[in-house]
Amino acid sequence: MAPGGEQDMLSTEIVNKGVIESSGPNAGSLTFSVRVRRRLPDFVQSVNLKYVKLGYHYLINHGIYIATVPVLLVLVFGAEVGSLSSSREEIWSKFWNSTSAAHARYDLATVLAFFGVLVSKEQFLEAARKSGKFDEANLQFQKRILQASGIGDETYIPKAIMAGENCSTMKEGRAEASMVMFGALDELFEKTKIRPKDVGVLVVNCSIFNPTPSLSAMIINHYKMRGNILSFNLGGMGCSAGIIALDLARDMLQANPNNYAVVVSTEMVGYNWYKGKERSMLIPNCFFRMGGSALLLSNRRRDSRRAKYRLEHIVRTHKGADDRCFRFKGIRVSKDLMEVGGDALKTNITTLGPLVLPFSEQLQFFSTLVWRHLFGGSGGGSNSSTTATATANANKPYIPDYKLAFEHFCVHAASKAVLDELQRNLEFSDKNMEASRMTLYRFGNTSSSSIWYELAYLESKESVKKGDRVWQLAFGSGFKCNSAVWRSIRTVRKPSTNNPWL
């Protein structure tokens, strides 16, 4: 048995139930096996008072400034497979030989149809088998992961992977990056009617693939952006880097009034492909898929009339000072992920609470938290069962209802197991988790861009009304957990055909 509180972090499941031993000392006996797994900690039972105080400090010092930044958010990503009117060679020639953005306007649907391929779980496993890189035990391991992943049979991976080619090269990485980023940006500029030269701030995030010249430099060169553009390229920051990039863009806009900022979030799947035998490295192969997003932000007063959302809060939590959290390096998944992620999430949402929760919820939460902090779990030594029950109820922490603070939730679609644990701990309904689960099923884990697929899903359902609040929650290596809070400026009508869900 696990000592102390560690036992509470384990879940059990009966497997091989009803097996009758045919030999050995237990011959003729009915036996079963118990599988023990580590789950997300029940972090609401151990909320730290200092993070609540941090939230109030954040509110006092930054709330006014954040509330005054108007944001024009454009979700761009096409995932419907379009037919190609030209041959592969013709499109490739046009794409690479173009001298301006107007010469290479292919939406992201065409891009993925050209460079990526829709793959089912069976096709994925067959390609892994044909590669000759995995033994039977590792193939079966990947099969089990895929079956429990929550991913459907229409996700995208680079064609080079299915063809058995070596895709972990700088050339293939640049090709995939160019296709995904330029496809998304072409849609962005066409939809918003903003010229690339009008953009004053450019932030690109991609964790693993970081070439020289950088991805941001590739964009500047392709679109011939202006020479004094403020350009940033974020690498190695995990699946939550999209919100980090958003935070940086917001800061740059605050320092540079009357300007536009573009944020591009993506990950290069092919460049990260692992063909070894270490199982913690094989898991990301099963989850991660091609994807990307581009969004436009503005602090120009006149853009407030056509903007979709206003950015209200960003709360960032970094646990890198903890050696246990810092061990999450590269693209790997460890058995400690749930525990480490739960600790980062607990800190983040506790800090966020004072910024977004209604006063009644804050008062209830804060009073019970202070009571537990001052008086602990002491029951006063009473032998009365009634008194003991009352004391237990008094010491039980109040769980804030974040559904009172937000109408919509975009939780990073990491895996089914992670979404299940988050739903249980935050007491979300199936409706609250619908955008995240549907994104995971249709597109897989697209890393930092997944929260934008989820918002696109809500828009495609015409769910976002004027005044609605949206919570985007992402987490990743480091270990980091970040939140972004948006308020809808207007009711979002059914989007154009380049929405990935249409």
The burial of 217, by beta-carbon neighbours within 10 Å (0-12 exposed, 13-18 middle, 19 or more buried), is given as: middle
- Please state the length of the chain: 502
Cα 104 from Cα 223, distance rounded (Å):
10
Contact 177, 482 (CB under 8 A): no
| Residue of 272, 285, 348, 445 marked active site | 445
Burial annotation 364-398 (CB, 10 A radius, 16+ → b, else e): bbbebbeebeeeeeeeeeeeeeeeeeebeeeeeeb
Report the candidate in 99, 110, 76, 107 with the shortest Cα–Cα distance to residue 223: 99
Contact 481, 347 (CB under 8 A): yes
Cα 48 from Cα 351, distance rounded (Å):
10
Cα 264 from Cα 182, distance rounded (Å):
10
| Residue of 239, 286, 325, 410 marked active site | 239
Cα 134 from Cα 143, distance rounded (Å):
12
- DSSP, res 439: H
Q: Is 373 an annotated catalytic residue?
A: no
| Residue of 205, 408, 410, 432 marked active site | 408
H and E: helices and strands count for the chain: 17, 13
Cα 155 from Cα 387, distance rounded (Å):
56
Q: What is the 3-state secondary structure (H, E, C) of 81-140?
A: CCCCCCCHHHHHHHHHHCCCHHHCCCCHHHHHHHHEEEECHHHHHHHHHHHCCCCHHHHH
Q: Is 318 an annotated catalytic residue?
A: yes
| Residue of 205, 206, 299, 318 marked active site | 318
Report the candidate in 176, 189, 174 with the shortest Cα–Cα distance to residue 102: 189
Sheet with strand 230-234: strands edge to edge: 230-234, 201-205, 260-266, 292-298
| DSSP element (H, E) containing 145 | helix 136-147
Cα-based distances in Å from 464 to 402, 454, 467, 493, 495: 17, 12, 9, 8, 12
| Residue of 167, 233, 313, 412 marked active site | 412
Q: Is 57 an annotated catalytic residue?
A: no
How do the residues of the chain divide into helix, strand and coil, expressed in percent and rounded to 5? Answer: 45, 15, 35
Q: Is 239 an annotated catalytic residue?
A: yes
Extract the tokens encoding 236: 């190695």
Report the candidate in 323, 240, 326, 333 with the shortest Cα–Cα distance to residue 38: 333
Cα 182 from Cα 92, distance rounded (Å):
13
Catalytic residues: 239, 318, 408, 412, 445
